[in-house]
Amino acid sequence: MTKFLLFAASTLSLFIGGVSSVCAAPAPQAPPAAHAGEFTPPAAPLTPASPTLDRIRASGKLDCAVIAPQDDWNGVDIHGNLSAFETEICHAVAAAVLGDPAQAAVQAFPGEPETVAALRSGRVQLAVGLSPSTGVAVAQAITFGRPVYFDTVRILTHKDSGIHDAADLQDRLVCAMDLSFPEVTVQDEMRARGLRLALQSHSEQGENDAAVAVRRCQAGAGMETRLAASRTNFHGFTPNFVFLPERWGLSPMVVATRNDDPLWSRAVDDMIDALVEAESLGVTQANVGQAGAREDIGARELTGKDIAVPRAFGLPQDWAVRAVAAVGNYGEIFDRTIGQPYHLDRGLNALWSSGGLMAPEPLH
């Protein structure tokens, strides 16, 4: 019995020792200490890969599309001609990427379908002023980015018409383009208010504008940009026509890229954000050269003291400064190309801090 107990104890001891040797993890080996004078290489830098940016740099130009609608309405494009504004956005992006706004090769297309086709085919790397659509995004492989303008349905009338708001449209004759988004929107809004609307539809933009100008119609319905552009063609009568306060049917106009280069798409979004952020910080075309001396975090990010954004996109450290120096901030671009020519206030396109919808994402 004693021999058996001694045998069992020795066997158990061997088993436990074996398990311990199997289960115990080997102690980690400390890295060898660096000797004095040895060079320790830094972590590998971030090397972004954007085929689009590479092509733009290789060609020395940015192919950028804008929309310049024809006088005759085509039944698809509902916005007015903002091609001057859109061209400045192209110049800003070219300045940020290539250092020179003149390196934007701007191509004007008569409508959104032609613009989308140019973007999808690779003829342009950027389009400005498209209306975002899930169907178009999926079918045409397009990424819709930041809004650059918020358009809305509005009513234009003669200042002596006695029409001061939507309630005064009861039983008044209103002109609109046939089966257009503005026409349908106004009908829905009037119906919701229990108001009767006498609507006269037109199939030609020139005919519709003339009916409003000579007051055959007591008011005209359309997108704000389209009505504002038409009003400038009333010549000496332009100051006599005003907008009612109501805004309906928000319709953003955005930048767009192909969906095969997400880094490029994101970089373009950040360039739009930089123009809006510059306005919010009070950084203008005139003072952007001095903005680098500021110590507030917003100015530091905008002027490139925080290098995270340029490293992430492979852009020059002062990319945002280049853009603002070339064309000004968002507000300056708006006033020069939309506000003054079309006699439009900022409205929904004011900064969020001023009651508008323009709000940039942080540049970090």
Give pLDDT tens digits for 202-252.
Answer: 988 889 999 999 999 999 999 999 999 999 999 899 999 999 999 999 999
| One domain for residues 175 and 290 | no
Backbone φ, ψ for residue 265 (5° rounding): -60, -45
Range of the domain at 191: 152-248
Mean pLDDT score across all residues of the chain: 87
With respect to residue 238, please indicate whether it lies within any of the assigned structural domains.
yes
| One domain for residues 174 and 319 | no
pLDDT (tens digit per residue) in 86-106: 999 999 999 999 999 999 999
Residue where a domain stops, chosen among 217, 248, 279: 248
Element (H, E) at 110: none
| One domain for residues 260 and 119 | yes
Q: What per-residue confidence (pLDDT) applies to 249?
A: 92
CB 218 within 8 A of CB 161: yes
How large is the average pLDDT for residues 292-313?
85
Short-list 326, 339, 275, CA closest to 91: 326
The three-state secondary structure class of 356 is coil
Written as six digits, the tokens of 146 are: 């930041």
With respect to residue 301, please indicate whether it lies within any of the assigned structural domains.
yes
Residue where a domain stops, chosen among 248, 280, 297: 248
Q: What per-residue confidence (pLDDT) applies to 311?
A: 79
The CATH number assigned to the domain holding 233 equals: 3.40.190.10
Number of domains in the chain: 2
Would you place residue 274 in the very low, low, confident or very high pLDDT band (cuts 50, 70, 90)? very high
In whole angstroms, what is the distance from residue 67 CA to residue 86 CA? 8
Does residue 22 register a pLDDT over 50?
A: no
Would you place residue 71 in the very low, low, confident or very high pLDDT band (cuts 50, 70, 90)? low
CB 304 within 8 A of CB 318: yes
In whole angstroms, what is the distance from residue 190 CA to residue 167 CA? 9
In whole angstroms, what is the distance from residue 43 CA to residue 46 CA? 9
With respect to residue 37, please indicate whether it lies within any of the assigned structural domains.
no
SS3 labels along 308-346? HHHHHHCCCCCHHHHHHHHHCCHHHHHHHHHHHHHCCCC
Would you place residue 305 in the very low, low, confident or very high pLDDT band (cuts 50, 70, 90)? confident
| One domain for residues 81 and 219 | no
| One domain for residues 267 and 137 | yes
End-to-end CA distance of the chain: 79
With respect to residue 4, please indicate whether it lies within any of the assigned structural domains.
no
Q: What per-residue confidence (pLDDT) applies to 23?
A: 39
With respect to residue 326, please indicate whether it lies within any of the assigned structural domains.
yes
| One domain for residues 243 and 256 | no
Residue where a domain stops, chosen among 194, 223, 248: 248
Q: How far is CA 342 from CA 143, 357, 358, in A?
A: 30, 20, 20
With respect to residue 1, please indicate whether it lies within any of the assigned structural domains.
no
CB 175 within 8 A of CB 220: yes
| One domain for residues 236 and 260 | no
Q: What per-residue confidence (pLDDT) applies to 16?
A: 38
Does residue 192 register a pLDDT over 90?
A: yes
| One domain for residues 140 and 157 | no
| One domain for residues 130 and 255 | yes
Does residue 26 register a pLDDT over 70?
A: no
User: What dihedral angle (degrees, nearest 10) is formed by the CA atoms of 10, 12, 13, 17?
Assistant: 140
- Please report the DSSP string for 183-236 in residue order: HHHHHHHHHHTT---EEEEESSHHHHHHHHHTTSSSEEEEEHHHHHHHHHTTGG
Kindly report the pTM of this predicted structure: 0.84
User: What dihedral angle (degrees, nearest 10) is formed by the CA atoms of 334, 338, 344, 347?
Assistant: -40
